[in-house]
Chain A
Amino acid sequence: EVQLLESGGDLVQPGGSLRLSCAASGFTFNNYAMGWVRQVPGRGLEWVSSVSGSGTSTYYADSVKGRFTISRDNSKNTLYLQMSSLRAEDTAIYYCAKRGLPVPREGFDIWGQGTMVTVSS
């Protein structure tokens, strides 16, 4: 069964840092681009970042560029999101998502259950 399991969400003070992890199973991890999408509870979805299957290409929303870093360890089938200089507006549920394949089926076809990040003093 294809599965994504996020972890690392927590309460953190403004200006602090946090690393999210997403453990993948049930598919050949390094064949697929991956991404992070966040959602303020009760609000809409916001794409945060994506990374290619090899990890060499990364993409970020303007709202997190320079503060967040996406990476992956294909030997551990794990996706990461390193978040720094956190702000109150980063408070959200963070979902890990797998890019669909083959082309053109490239939306996010599998999602994790989400992990909550709260930025507050």
Chain B
Amino acid sequence: DIQMTQSPSTLSASVGDRVTITCRASQSINSWLAWYQQKPGKAPKFLIYKASSLESGVPSRFSGSESGTEFTLTISSLQPDDFATYYCQQYNSYPYTFGQGTKLEIK
């Protein structure tokens, strides 16, 4: 099974900050990576697919990138609505696996 190691587990930041969340795959996943945002009591929201493609309707301050088996989600200028938990997920092969999540908190 492909393991997804996400870091940090918690991130404290302020409105306007640029933040980066990292996800590392235990083997090649051919860019088949998605990012999700989840707020308390809500279902996850699809943000990014194929490592760097922005889902329709998602603000352009969100971006994804990759370098080998390391993937990053960047929020260029944090907005109040962005404080949430973020998950990566590989869909290269079954069993699909998620990262452990990164909780983005207000500093």
> Closest CB-CB distance, B2 to chain A, in whole Å?
11
A108 at the interface (CB under 8 A from B): yes
User: What chain A residues lie within 8 Å of B100 (beta carbons)?
Assistant: 44
Selected from A50, A104, A109, A114, the residue in CB contact (under 8 A) with B96 is A50
CB-CB nearest in chain B for A4:
B43
Nearest residue in A to B50 (C-beta to C-beta)?
A: A104
Q: Which residue of B lies closest to A58 (CB)?
A: B94
CA of A70 to CA of B98 in the docked complex: distance in angstroms? Answer: 20
A47-B97, A59-B94 given; A104·B53 CB < 8 A: yes
Interface of chain B, main secondary structure: loop
Q: A44-B87, A107-B89 are in contact. Are A59 and B98 (CB under 8 A)?
A: no
Q: Does A62 contact B (CB under 8 A)?
A: yes
Give A2 Cβ to nearest chain B Cβ, in Å.
12
Main secondary structure of the interface of A (DSSP, over half): strand
A8→B9 CA distance, assembly (Å): 32
**Interface size grouping (class) on chain B:** 20 to 34
Q: Does A9 contact B (CB under 8 A)?
A: no
Q: Evaluate contact between B46 and A107: CB separation under 8 angstroms.
A: yes
Cβ-based interface call for A11 (8 A) = no
Decide if A107 touches B91 in the complex (CB within 8 Å). Answer: yes
**How far does the alpha carbon of A100 sit from the alpha carbon of B99 in the complex, in Å?**
19
Asked if B83 is at the interface (CB within 8 A of a chain A CB), the reply is no
Extra contacts, 5 of them, besides A44-B101, A59-B95 (Cβ < 8 A), are A35-B96, A47-B97, A59-B94, A62-B95, A104-B31
Q: A residues near B, CB below 8 A?
A: 35, 37, 44-47, 50, 59-62, 95, 100, 104-114
The 7 closest A-B pairs by CB, nearest first: A107-B34, A111-B43, A104-B50, A47-B96, A59-B94, A45-B98, A109-B46
